[in-house]
Amino acid sequence: MTELNRLPVLFLTDPVLLPGMVVPVELDDAARAAVDAAKASDAGKLLVAPRLDDRYPAYGVVASIVQLGRMAGGQSGAVLKGESRAHIGSGTTGPGAALWVEIEAVTEPELTDEIRELASEYKQLVLAMLQRREAWQVIDSVNKLTDPSALADTAGYASYLTDIQKRDLLETPDVGDRLRTLITWTRDHLAEVEVNDKIAGDVRDGMEKTQKEFLLRQQLAAIRKELGEDEPDGSDDYRARVESATLPDNVREAAMREVGKLERASDQSPESGWIRTWLDTVLDLPWNVTTTDSTDIKGARAILDADHHGLDDVKDRIVEYLAVRARRAERGLQVVGGRGSGAVMVLAGPPGVGKTSLGESVARALGRKFVRVALGGVRDEAEMRGHRRTYVGALPGRIVRAIGEAGSMNPVVLLDEIDKVGADYRGDPSAALLEVLDPAQNHTFRDHYLDLDLDLSDVVFLATANVIEQIPSALLDRMELVTIDGYTEDDKVVIARNYLLPRQQERAAITADEVEVTDDALRKIAADYTREPGVRQFERFLAKLMRKVTTSLSGAAEGTKITVDEPDLVGYLGKPRFTPDSEERTAVPGVATGLAVTGLGGDVLYIEAGSTEGEGLVLTGQLGDVMKESAQIALSYVRSHAADFGIEPKSLERSIHVHVPAGATPKDGPSAGVTMVTALVSMATGRKVRADVAMTGEVTLNGRVLPIGGVKQKLLAAARSGMTTVFIPSRNEPDLDDVPAEVLEALTVHPMTDVADIIAQALEPIGEVAVTAA
């Protein structure tokens, strides 16, 4: 064994020496012994090996001693230069106190094109990293390196590599493997550096922008102060506002917590803006503001009667509410923030009957503030309960905003068109109303934006709807249902005389001394120009009439008065739009007149039956599933009782066609069952249905007539259409108590139990058919 195969060893924990590196080393006793042994040897070399953990190193670097001297701190030191890799063998003996080991030189592999390409790629990565650091002198040194192994070993100077990684490089004798490993590590480090540089740049830009905004805001505040436009908007102002405001204890506590957050937050922080908006909303709400209810029961009823004709159910309910509150106040039983002290009613009825305007009259009668919340088309649940404050542009819900607009905690809130509320992926707004409209729960209503308990128990909620069936049953159960079914012709004449005509005269700039409209003319408009349960179209025709009168007066002499009577209406309004057509429609067998209820109120419904060659049942007129089933039930009943009605069974074995005109309008419901039976029997027997007869009711396979809904609206529609006889189910007879007396006087109403009895009275006698046929 030669001397070069046996060298003193120096173990280093920091740094890790790679070939080509020159590093200073502080000399302790072991290191001095290794250096002295190396100097005493002929070669003057020593082996430097990393000792990072308990693992015995497998490789080291043969190093030469460049210089001996003192370190900057005064300690003894040496400068060592790494020359080549060596594999460490077993320990051996040698002169001096140093440790000696046997070594085996590591032979460098031959250079290949792949190694050169890897070296070039690694050099480009190193140069890119050095350029980012602007280390131009180091760049020149790296550019001069041509040996791939020497280039790879320069990684020993890399600060981004750990000592463990550098030891791995030392113990990788293959140059290609070393370069591949270094390329991977360097790429990862470059990607990390780029991300860190971008983040640092963004932070620097943000800080510069923040500093610029702060400077500008300070200058703006100084300018405003000089102009006398300084408005305190700091947290001190909010603290003073909260302390001076009259707030409930829980609200004050929550507001003071938010003021504390505002004082700790920066003016440039987005959270400070959210807190200011929330505090403004809370401070603007009338937490302890209430109006005093009127205790004049007669005066309240007088206000309701002056504003609206009829509607006794609603007026009675409001007067009852007032009377109970007045009596509780007299006896010291006021409920403040308690359960069920408010009132929740839903006014259901066709358009134009005064549901919406009634809310304002109720507020006047109670002496309360009035606010209207339009719900038509609302599909977002947050519209009712508000958005969480974390959302951009968050606002409280419509209920809280309505309280704020009213300026008191006990207003009359009108929830208009509650049956038009929709539902989609944003939630169901009607579900959010369940708590609002429950008298047992709404004393602790919690809006998502406010996140505070709001007492709505003293609010009078009025809801309006056209179709009750479209209101969810759980929501309808929480409200008192008051049905407004429409007006008779006499009612419309009174309403026009007392309310509509004076309003339209005022809009047309004419007085009662200049125009007079007779009751016959008003009745004619109600009967033949409009056929509606309400008075909205009626008022439009009166507006048109007043405009025509104003035009006629424009060239007339002073003091001219125009009287509009029934014959004059054609000249002002044109020909009537509606004329009785029941006799014409039922002039042939197979046509019967039924009664139905739509979103626009009651209406007559003609059902036609015919037969052709073929088999089966044909249904047309855009009928719903329930109405189709009614037709099938009616046909089955007529076939099973054909002999009772004098029908040839063969006449019902053909193709039966049942049609309900106005095919563009969807129709559904079971109440047309008796009308379909009557039409089928009329078709099969050839006997016409009486033109003055209308009917309604569900029918069973046994011919029983079952009860239906909307009796009052249907009878009003029958009276408007000129009918004189109406058949209804016997179990609906109690509903006649709600029908106006003048309607019952104009109609002969027959409660029926068996559909056969209806057919016996609704069809014209057989003798009349024979005479007609002759």
Write out pLDDT tens, residues 503-526: 999 998 888 888 889 988 898 888
- Give domain status of residue 673, yes or no: yes
- Give domain status of residue 215, yes or no: no
CATH number of the domain bearing residue 479:
3.40.50.300
- Give domain status of residue 145, yes or no: no
pLDDT of the residue at 170: 87
Task: Count CB atoms within 10 A of the CB of residue 255.
Answer: 22
Count each helix (H run) and each strand (E run) in the chain, helices first: 28, 24
Please tell me whether residues 249 and 345 are part of one structural domain.
Answer: no
Residue-wise pLDDT tens digits, 76-85: 889 999 988 8
Cα(354)–Cα(738) distance, rounded to whole angstroms?
A: 18
Please tell me whether residues 695 and 605 are part of one structural domain.
Answer: yes
Nearest to 459 by CA among 410, 403, 521: 410
Residue in this structure with the two tokens 């001297």, named with its chain if needed: 69
Count Cβ atoms within 10 A of the Cβ of residue 504 and give its class: 0-12 exposed, 13-18 middle, 19 or more buried: buried
Cα(681)–Cα(756) distance, rounded to whole angstroms?
A: 10
- Show the domain range for 546: 489-573
Nearest to 454 by CA among 239, 242, 245, 254: 254
Please tell me the total number of residues recorded for the chain in this structure. 774
- Give domain status of residue 436, yes or no: yes
Per-position DSSP letters for 370-438, written without gaps between them: EEEEE-TT---THHHH---TTSTT----HHHHHHHHHTSSS-EEEEETGGG---BTTB-HHHHHHHHT-
pLDDT of the residue at 299: 85
Please tell me whether residues 696 and 735 are part of one structural domain.
Answer: yes
- Give domain status of residue 112, yes or no: no
pLDDT of the residue at 774: 27
Catalytic: which of 671, 688, 712, 721? 671
Please tell me whether residues 417 and 362 are part of one structural domain.
Answer: yes
CATH number of the domain bearing residue 95:
2.30.130.40
Q: Within its chain, how far is the Cα of 636 from the centroid? A: 48
- Give domain status of residue 143, yes or no: no
Q: Treating both helix axes as pointing N-terminal to C-terminal, what angle do 113-133 and 136-144 enclose, rounded to 10 degrees?
A: 170
Catalytic: which of 123, 369, 667, 714? 714
Please tell me whether residues 357 and 409 are part of one structural domain.
Answer: yes
Please tell me whether residues 367 and 309 are part of one structural domain.
Answer: yes
CATH number of the domain bearing residue 507:
1.10.8.60
Please tell me whether residues 323 and 434 are part of one structural domain.
Answer: yes
Pick the last residue of a domain from 429, 448, 483.
Answer: 483
Please tell me whether residues 745 and 626 are part of one structural domain.
Answer: yes
Query: Binding site for ATP, residues?
Result: 349-356
Pick the last residue of a domain from 284, 305, 322.
Answer: 284
pTM confidence score? 0.60
Residue-wise pLDDT tens digits, 142-185: 888 888 888 888 888 888 888 888 888 888 888 888 889 988 98
Ranges of the chain with pLDDT below 70: 1-4, 224, 228-236, 266-268, 333-342, 424-427, 579-581, 599-600, 663-664, 766-774
Please tell me whether residues 624 and 697 are part of one structural domain.
Answer: yes
In degrees and rounded to multiples of 5, residue 460 shows phi and psi of: -95, 110
- Is 671 annotated in the active site? yes
- Give domain status of residue 242, yes or no: yes
* Structural domains counted in the chain: 5
Scanning 331-379, the segments in alpha helix (DSSP H) are 355-366
- Is 714 annotated in the active site? yes
- Give domain status of residue 119, yes or no: no
Residue-wise pLDDT tens digits, 588-609: 889 999 998 876 677 888 899 9
Please tell me whether residues 607 and 737 are part of one structural domain.
Answer: yes
Pick the last residue of a domain from 255, 284, 313.
Answer: 284
Please tell me whether residues 611 and 642 are part of one structural domain.
Answer: yes
Nearest to 617 by CA among 699, 685, 676, 705: 676
Please tell me whether residues 472 and 499 are part of one structural domain.
Answer: no
Is there a cis peptide before residue 15, judged by omega within 30 degrees of 0? yes
